[in-house]
Amino acid sequence: MRLFSEPDQSIATNFLNDLEKSIYIDSKPSKDTKSTYYKPSSLNCLRMMYYYRTNTKIDGAVRPASSIGILHSGEDRHLRIQKAITNMKNNGFDCEWVDVETYIKENKLTNLEVISKKEYETTVHNKELDLLFLCDGIVKINGKYFIIEIKTENSSSFYNRLAVAEEHKHQAACYSISFNINYVIFIYENRDLCLKKSFLFYVPVSLKNEVVGMIERCNEFVEKKELPTKIVCKFCTYCDYKKKCSKNEA
């Protein structure tokens, strides 16, 4: 009778540890600094805006493979949803996918510059506000233009989702200011079950003014080389500048 020894489970454990380290290495940016353009996602924190604008070196903290996986999953779901939207017209629905670069040219939006294009997403630079953003899409329904913004979130957040998240409204204002489109359709998807909710958000003039005002205030801090007052918010946990901010370092 042939006897088999139990497999050495440490091999699998070590393999997994190495795999997660490799995922982190692949995800590391080529530089430890980021673009000096403003990003819509940073417009909820004046200090984060300041760090971006002054090209401050990021903390360089190790990001777990799970967080990287969630990011990749969100990117993959964006592509699937965007592809489905582009197919709606062919399937008989009144929804036309609009090429962002074509929209910019046809509407003579000379303050906007297309930096790069992927299959469905377009990276745009608003030269007037020095704002860089990735547009998920623009659609035309019943002859009217709407900006599309896709968000993925966990089940708890999704089931409690009754409206557009407050932290996403400044993003909507950035897109609205840039494209001169007042309505944004937010699509929220449950990351676990791929269930969806959608909300039509009208961007009021007051919110646009608030965003422009934040950028102008940050420009003043940058000019004076003065670090804005620290605020504590939900973005602190995942902020690339968390260590510097806690020490009030510029």
Q: Any idea where the domains of the chain sit in the sequence?
A: 71-229
Question: CA dihedral defined by 76, 29, 249, 53, rounded to 10 degrees?
Answer: -70
As given in the structure block, the two tokens for residue 123 are 């990276």
Helices (H) and strands (E) in the chain, counts: 8, 8
What is the value of pTM for the model shown?
A: 0.89
Residue with tokens 């190790």: 62
Whether the predicted pLDDT of 33 surpasses 60: no
What pLDDT digit, counting tens, does each position of 74-131 carry? Answer: 999 999 999 999 999 999 999 999 999 999 999 999 999 999 998 899 999 999 999 9
CB within 8 Å of 46: residues ≥ 6 apart: 214, 217, 218, 221, 228, 229, 231
What φ, ψ does residue 153 adopt, rounded to 5°?
Answer: -150, 165
Q: Are 104 and 16 in contact (CB under 8 A)?
A: no
Residue 235 has a pLDDT of 75
Report the alpha-carbon distance of residue 147 to residue 128 in Å, rounded.
20
Lowest mean pLDDT among 105-114, 165-174, 177-186, 233-242: 233-242
Residue 24 has a pLDDT of 85
What separation, in Å, do the N-terminal and C-terminal C-alpha atoms of the chain show?
71
Whether the predicted pLDDT of 2 surpasses 70: no
> CATH top-level class for 71-229?
alpha beta
As given in the structure block, the two tokens for residue 14 are 């070590």
Overall average pLDDT of the 207-232 stretch: 92
Whether the predicted pLDDT of 198 surpasses 90: yes
Report the alpha-carbon distance of residue 101 to residue 114 in Å, rounded.
7
| Mean of pLDDT over the chain | 90
Residue 30 has a pLDDT of 57
Q: Quick one: residue 231, left, alpha or beta (phi over 0 = left, psi -120 to 50 = alpha)?
A: beta
Which amino acid is present at 226?
Answer: E
Residue 61 has a pLDDT of 65
CB within 8 Å of 150: residues ≥ 6 apart: 77, 78, 81, 82, 136, 186, 187, 189
